[in-house]
Amino acid sequence: MKHLNHRSIRTFVACLTASVAFFAVAAEAAEAAEAERPNVVFIISDDHDFEHLGFMGNRTVHTPTLDRLAEAGTVFTHAHLPMSRCHPTLASFLSGRWPHQSGIYYNYGPRQLDPKNSLPNLLKKAGYATYVEGKYWEGDPREMGFTHGKGKTAKTFVRKGQDDLFAFLDDVAGRQPFFVWWAPLIPHTPHNPPAKYQKLFDAEKVPIPEWFKGDKEAFRQREFKSLAMEAWLDDGVNQLVEKLDGRGVLKQTMFVFLIDNGWCNGLVSKGSPFEKGVRTPIFLTLPGEIQAGQRFDHLVSTLDVYPTILDYAGVKVPETAAGRSLRPIVEGRPAEIRDVLYGAIYPAFATKNDARPERDVYALYARTKKWKYILFTQDVRQTGNGNYFRVQSILTDYPERDRGQQDLYDLESDPHELNNLASKPEHREQLEQFKRDVLAWWQETGGKPL
């Protein structure tokens, strides 16, 4: 200090005062920003038919809590997952990347996800407490950015209650913004719903859809169990909503809902490129921020959820994100709307225990509002399904295909993809165009030569 002359001391003090004032203001702003950051509850349903939700128009299911949350927010009715199986889709929710970009395209393979830029890591850096329970396939949850929760509690979470999560909420709610990865193994098998959920339905009166031509009694029995499992999921969400309400934070909590992959009795679903495998609704709910009662049938991707959550949390979206925030659509601002969704479908197992999506991919597809095009890049055979493809074809034919075979469906007149139009001469040019498009998409998104 003795080296400073009078003038510089005055300047120094002024600077010091300004700095103190600046830091006080900055701290206040940071506090305000933190207070404004919404809590985020990410509800990931497991192996769930996208048409088995009240808010999707189903009159038989019992999903009153999800229906209420959906109606209190904005629903996207036509979203596609980047794969139709748990591990790759959950990895895509964490990374915001395509399976062939992250390397996690299988359920069973050599690698785990790179935690850099993971959703929980980015939220943690922004001041969130981040909690994981239920389905979580990767390595150490702390490395992935989860500050709380054990992860890998699929067998017990919600099935045996939510005590650990509720203790976490008692600790942090109202004190720190929080992110909850809520991913129970429900309605996933084992389909063993408690009696109280079975009592909600009459197995004899489960409706049979007009497209189902198989064993009606077997269908009713399976559908009955699915319905009770879905009621169990909804009750789990209801218990969480009541807990958040009890802690006084419900109005500051954003709910994001989706399904990790489809499941269907009577149609090919999980593990396949068909709509019952890759389609899910998404809803976003945040009182006072996200408009209630909105529904969009735009083609969106579940890859859009990662940038959307970061957007609402006030966190910069990294360049690595493959999707785009849905917030502009929700807020009625100019937004680029997709006219086509693409995807790549893989077996459950990586072959030869190395990660090479270009070798293991077995179908590429494109979907517009009207058309669904599929190109099979491997022979698909039921033989060995259990230890390779793991495609779900419950009470329906296994989708056997030859390498190079193409499917084309008119989703407007044939939403369940029952009538393959690919052999009709009038569609030849259209098939060629779709084939060029899916191969170009694969290459543009970093896929190596097939």
In the complex, the residues that contact Ca ion under the rule CB under 5 A are 46-47, 86, 260-261
Minimum distance from residue 384 beta carbon to Ca ion (Å): 21
DSSP-derived secondary structure letter, 447: P
Give min distance, CB of 137 to Ca ion, in A: 10
Residue 107 beta carbon to Ca ion: minimum distance, rounded to whole angstroms:
9
363 contacts 325 by C-beta, under 8 angstroms: no
Between 108 and 211, name the residue whose CB sits nearer to Ca ion: 108
Rounded distance between C-alpha atoms, residue 257 and residue 135, angstroms = 15
Q: What single DSSP character describes residue 130?
A: E
Q: How far is the CB of 267 from Ca ion (least distance, A)?
A: 16
Rounded Cα–Cα distance for residues 363 and 376 (Å): 4
Can you give the three-state secondary structure of 212-273, one letter per residue?
CCCCHHHHHHHHHHHHHHHHHHHHHHHHHHHHHHHCCCHHHEEEEEEECCCCCECCCCCCCC
CB of 275 to Ca ion, least distance (A): 16
Which among 57, 66, 105 is positioned nearest to 82, based on CA atoms?
Answer: 105
Indicate the residue among 44 and 61 with the shorter CB distance to Ca ion: 44
Closest distance to Ca ion from the beta carbon of 271 (Å): 10
Q: Which is nearer to Ca ion, 261 or 325 (CB)?
A: 261
Work out the angle at residue 382's Cα, subtended by the Cα atoms of residues 379 and 385, and round it to the nearest 5 degrees: 95
Whichever of 185 and 341 has its CB closer to Ca ion, that residue is: 185
3-state secondary structure 300-363: EEHHHHHHHHHHHCCCCCCCCCCCCCCHHHHCCCCCCCECCEEEEECCCECHHHCCCHHHHCCE
Question: Nearest Cα to 357, choosing from 347, 365, 367, 368?
Answer: 347
Nearer to Ca ion, 47 or 360 (CB): 47
Cα 371 from chain centroid? Answer: 23
- Measured from the CB atom, the residue of 47 and 311 that comes closer to Ca ion is 47
Name the minimum Å distance from CB 160 to Ca ion.
Answer: 19
DSSP label at residue 410: E
* Closer residue to Ca ion, CB minimum distance, 123 or 348: 348
